[in-house]
Amino acid sequence: MEPATTIWRWLSVIAHGAVLTVVLACSVESIAGPTYQAGAEPNDLRWDLAQRFNFVVDSGGVSFSVVTPVGCDLTRGEIVPSIRVSVRFDMPDVNDLMAVAVDSPVVFSVIDACGAPVAWQGAEPSHVRRYARVSIQGIQEAYTFLRQMMPPGFSLELPLGTSQVVPPAVVSIEGYIWALYADRTIEVDIPFEPNGWVESEQHPGLMISVDPTTPPRPDSPIEYESLPTSQPGTSIRRPTAPIQMYKYTTWVKSKTGTPVMGLADSWYSPSVRASVEYVVIKTQLFDSEAQVASTSLGQSVISDAGRGANCVGTLSQCEYVFDRIRHVLAVHPVEVKIPFVLTNIPVTAVFSVD
């Protein structure tokens, strides 16, 4: 057998139009999976906040992967089973909930149908977390208007040990996800033109600066003209002048010297996370006369240890004249662990060849 380079190929085995279902005896040799609570005590789990969530299992099952070294046939591969579960949030209470880290759920207990713990090959929980802003969006389905939380949920994949017999059913999976709460969310508007560091009157501890490299903004709305076409009664509309762009770069920092982070940053240092006073959620362009705000699709926020959070964005000229740059921030963010208990997870197998 050749060395350890592996290739991954997926093949679903369908039997008579139905997915092959696995029915096996309970494992009497199951041992406890790794208990990953990362030094946390049980009271670190916020069961009070978990009551605002409703974790719903959308789908679940056990898949089998056959890992074969290059040059070997499939009969010499190693079968690796995994429990896979897709979980969605069913309209939680999003009051003061700012973001969730759906890419780093932690599982510390899996119980099979016989009440025995299931062993899985879990990795140590990552110290890096990436948060996604929580929002409620309306979705039209046929004649029904539904409200759905974004992000909609998360997925679990638990590779089983090679000596672990695949359970006929999983009655419970316990774990937690990270969530970010905040005292409040604020909006701070500053003039578009660079003018050094500006201290917010409403929030004296916050300072924002427009970078000197920011070019002048368009000083008028876009205008169009109509041109006739060869078709009677029809015309086309085009701008009367080349379309200009809003481009901006700003810096946000705290007067106390504590870090200001961007929500999309990688949250990796416990000491930094504990001392963050402000989190920049996003920036917008604001027309102070029309009272209209617009979010640039290209806007981003990246924190800088020396100068604070760096915010950039671009937007095409439109019917509004944006004269302010709006910064949406969360004040005093706090990371918490939201526990979940998933029950009666279906076990439907999809055989995969890797």
Specify the number of domains making up the chain.
2
Is 65 found in the same domain as 41? yes
Looking at the structure, do residues 233 and 310 belong to the same domain, yes or no?
Answer: yes
Q: Are residues 233 and 308 in the same domain?
A: yes
pLDDT at 15: 28
Give 268-272's long-range contacts (Cβ < 8 A, gap of 24+): 268/127, 268/128, 268/129, 270/127
Q: pTM score, two decimals?
A: 0.76
Q: What is the pLDDT of residue 245?
A: 95
CA distance linking residue 351 with residue 20, whole number of Å:
8
With 60 as the cut, is the pLDDT of residue 40 above it? no
Residue 229 resides in a domain: yes
Are residue 156 and residue 294 in the same domain, yes or no? Answer: no
> Is 1 within a domain?
no
User: Are the C-beta atoms of residues 66 and 77 closer than 8 Å to each other?
Assistant: yes
Q: Do 194 and 125 share a structural domain?
A: no
Asked if 152 and 277 sit in the same domain, the reply is no
**What is the residue range of 163's domain?**
6-182+336-353
In a domain, 141, yes or no: yes
Six-digit token string for 317: 């000229």
Q: Do 304 and 340 have their domain in common? A: no
**184-215: buried (b, 16+ CB within 10 Å) or exposed (e) per residue?**
eebebbbebebeeebebeebeebbbbbeeebe
Residues 189 and 178 in one domain: no
Determine phi and psi for 143, rounding to 5 degrees: -100, 15
Check whether 35 has a pLDDT greater than 50.
no
Mark whether 21 and 164 lie in a shared domain: yes
Q: Give me 164's structure tokens.
A: 């672990």
Judgement on whether residues 191 and 176 belong to the same structural domain of the protein? no
**pLDDT per residue as tens digits for the range 154-187:** 999 888 877 778 888 899 999 999 999 999 999 9
280-305: pLDDT as tens digits: 999 999 999 999 999 887 889 998 76
Task: Say whether both 198 and 138 belong to one domain.
Answer: no
Residue 82 lies in a domain: yes
Mean residue pLDDT across the chain? 80
Q: Are residues 101 and 225 in the same domain?
A: no
Q: Residue 191 domain-assigned? A: yes
Pairing status of strand 260-262 against strand 278-287: parallel
DSSP tag of 101: E
